[in-house]
Amino acid sequence: MVTKTFMSKTLKIANDEKGYFMTDSSTWIVMRNKLPNLKVFFKGDKLLINVYHALCQINCNVYASKFIDFLASERGQKIIKEFGKNIYGESLYKDANYAKKYEKLLEEEKTLIIEGAVKKRVKLNLQDLGKFTPYEITLVEVTNDGKYHGAFVYKGISLRDLLELSHIQKKGKGFSKLIDTGIVIENKEGKKVFISWGEIFYRNPEKVLIAYAYKPVKPHFLNCNKCHSEKFYKTILNQLERQIELPKLVVVDDFYTDRCIEGVTTIKVVELDKSMIWKKLKNLYSDRIIVSKNGVKVEEILDLLEGKRLEIEVKVLGERRGYYGIKKFEGIDLKDVIKELNPDRDFNKAIIVYGIDGYRSVFSLGELFLSKEKIFIADTVNQSSIERGGKFILIPSGDIFADRMIKAVSEIRLISLP
């Protein structure tokens, strides 16, 4: 039955018709003595808590701001907590501490699922995350459009630790290394972010976190009207008061924080090429690079002639065979190499770089466009052209280990992930 009227009148209709009706507790307390045919069937579930907020727009009236402060004060909370008690035998409303208790329970029930190319599917909540070794980092949040979203101290667990808990397990048999896999992080709104395996396992563990707690970094001086307009600094300070939905992905090495999505629900390990087989070749050399987008050839590169040349010294450390020394590579940023692909800032895409022998590695667009670490294609080493393992070598200069270094680069693919 649709009544199209107020709560109290609808309760009377339910009483007369002996029906069921969902109502707020305060209206029920006031009217229950007038509703002999009704009784409480169910109450108290945390999902039914109705939280009210007092909000004030930027540069709001001074009296409105003072009223909100009064509501939040000890005196204001006491009035709310005891309102109606002397008339109806119990108060009509609960205070903020009561609401916070249930909000905390709801937070703890949020689940995080790890699935995909893993041996064991794992399901965790915020309480579970708190049982792991925590890392604490400070993040100044500015997205690529230049907008400031606050500065916060996050406490979280390394994504590496979470993935080791579920054990990554590839199904493809042609290439045993995990460097051609990646992780798709999805939040409750369906937004997806891709992170390469190398970003997680070839960097220090605190570089990519799943945060389960946070606190704002507030300036010592909250009144900056000597150097900024009131509108400017209040806008900045308001960002520190925003509610962050946990768990949250935190990518520390990204200069811009577009990939740091909130409300994470799923961590999915994906294999991007299950078919190509890695075959060791005696003559490891490729004289050209084929660049493609979603399976369509876009260009063929014979020489690195365009773009700003980079010269970077790299400490070459293999995960299996150890230290190879320091080598000076010169070449062009991978961003410049793939510019003909017109890669947009959709961070649910990946770059796969292949050697002529099928050896390959995966890189995220976040590594290329958000991080300050350089990933580049080199055509000289120690001031000489690359004969063995050349003509081109891909160098991920920020990696601890050199296993994502691709010799005899023959193909670069940009692919969209589902």
Position 212 scores a pLDDT of 92
Q: Are strands 409-416 and 289-293 parallel, antiparallel or unpaired?
A: parallel
Pair 374, 398: CB distance under 8 Å: yes
β-sheet bridge partners, residue 260: none
Amino acid at 10: T
**Coil vs helix vs strand at 93:** coil
Distances (CA, A) of 55 to 30, 72, 73: 27, 12, 15
Pair 326, 315: CB distance under 8 Å: yes
- The string of DSSP letters for 111-143 reads EEEEEESBSS-EEEEHHHHTTSPPEEEEEEEE-
**Domain annotation for the chain: domains and CATH numbers:** 7-102 (no CATH), 110-271 (3.90.420.10), 289-416 (3.90.420.10)
Query: Alpha helix (H) ranges present in 240-314?
Result: none
> What is the pTM for the complete model shown?
0.73
How many angstroms from the chain centroid is the CA of residue 353? 25
Position 389 scores a pLDDT of 87
CA 135 to CA 290: how far, in whole Å? Answer: 41
Residues of the chain with pLDDT under 50: none
**Considering only CA atoms, which of 398, 342, 407 is closest in space to residue 372?**
398
**Coil vs helix vs strand at 264:** strand
